[in-house]
């Protein structure tokens, strides 16, 4: 299964709407980096509104893709993390520090624009 | 409601299968969305440990009904290499997989009860319980 990556001006938008298995998560990581490379996008929003489970593996993949994109010169913001997911991550001991987040897609785009203007 | 069902863990996709079944069962028992997420995430971690370290095993679910409380018991069993030093794997931050799993301390925090029995060379059995509040 492939997660669609949409391009909008200088941004890439991704909405994850499936229960992520490890393989799909790794595939997504590769796809996103290639897409950044070929499109020259400077900002990425990954929306997690429809994701109701983030376990340690998925959290690691997401955290890594933020760092990897940063290395390539694109800023990533994770948006829409559900309350239950936030609580579960902290219980697990995963803090995702240094990962930019925003309440929803709209706030995420505002945050990206601010960061990219700095 | 007193049933037991098991998911065999043989391939990576079974991790998703196990947590989805566990989530369905916990929803039927009456758990709210936050506890459903905790239970499903705990199952995901246990199933991944089986897949990573023992390759095969199973995760079983049982609805619990006491006189005045309900809950779910999850048993993760494998016949893998076993754990040499249990107190070590229960320390936060201990890993042999390079950080692929948050590990057992995380699972313990997600659940209400946590028991582990492991024999080196024979396998590991982890039993966790979450009670409905």
The ipTM of this complex is 0.89
Mean pLDDT of A83-103: 93
Contact B102 A56 (CB under 8 A): yes
- pTM across the whole model: 0.91
CB atoms B37 and A88 under 8 Å: yes
Q: Which fold has domain A6-117?
A: Transcription Regulator spoIIAA (3.30.750)
CATH of B4-131, one of 3.65.10.10, 1.10.3720.10, 3.20.20.450, 3.30.565.10: 3.30.565.10
Q: Give the model's pLDDT for residue B1.
A: 46
- For an interface test with B, give the residue of A53, A82, A93, A96 to mutate (most B CBs within 10 A): A53
Mean of the per-residue pLDDT values for chain A? Answer: 94
Note the pLDDT of residue B61: 96
Q: Where are the domains of chain A?
A: 6-117
Q: Where are the domains of chain B?
A: 4-131
pLDDT at residue B85, rounded to an integer: 85
Q: Is the pLDDT of residue A13 over 90?
A: yes
In this structure, are residues B93 and B79 in contact, taking their beta carbons and an 8 Å threshold? Answer: no
Answer yes or no: are the C-beta atoms of B98 and A56 closer than 8 Å.
no
Q: How confident is the model at residue A85 (pLDDT cuts 50, 70, 90)?
A: very high
Rounded to a whole number of angstroms, the distance from the CA of A114 to the nearest CA of chain B is: 32
Q: Is B58 exposed, middle or buried (0-12, 13-18, 19+ CB in 10 A)?
A: middle
Residues A45-83: tens digit of each pLDDT:
999 999 999 999 999 999 999 999 999 999 999 999 999
Ranges under pLDDT 70 in chain B = 1-3, 93-102
CB contacts < 8 Å between A and B, how many?
A: 77
Cβ burial, residue B92 (10 Å; 0-12/13-18/19+) = exposed
């Amino acid at each position: 299964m492939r997660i669609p990556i949409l391009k909008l001006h200088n941004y890439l938008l991704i909405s994850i709407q499936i229960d992520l298995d490890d393989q799909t998560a790794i595939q997504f990581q590769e796809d996103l980096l290639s897409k950044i490379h070929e499109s020259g996008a400077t900002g990425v929003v990954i929306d997690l509104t429809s994701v109701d489970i983030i376990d340690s593996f998925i959290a690691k993949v997401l955290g890594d893709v933020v760092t990897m994109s940063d290395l390539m010169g694109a800023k990533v913001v994770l948006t829409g993390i559900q309350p239950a997911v936030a609580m579960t991550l902290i219980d697990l001991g995963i803090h995702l520090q240094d990962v930019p987040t925003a309440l929803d897609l709209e706030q995420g785009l505002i945050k990206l624009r601010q960061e990219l203007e700095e | 409601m007193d049933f037991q069902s098991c998911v065999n863990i043989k391939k990576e996709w079974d991790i998703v299968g196990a947590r989805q079944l566990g989530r369905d069962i916990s929803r039927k028992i009456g758990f709210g969305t936050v506890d459903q997420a905790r239970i499903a995430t705990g199952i995901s971690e246990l199933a991944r440990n089986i897949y990573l370290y023992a390759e095969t095993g199973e995760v079983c679910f049982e609805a619990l009904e006491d006189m005045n409380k309900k809950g779910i018991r999850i048993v993760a069993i494998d016949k893998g290499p076993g754990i040499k030093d249990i107190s070590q794997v229960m320390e936060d931050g201990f890993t042999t997989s390079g950080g692929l799993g948050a590990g057992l301390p995380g699972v313990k925090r997600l659940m209400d009860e946590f028991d582990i029995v492991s024999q080196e060379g024979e396998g590991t059995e982890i039993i966790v319980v979450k009670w409905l509040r």
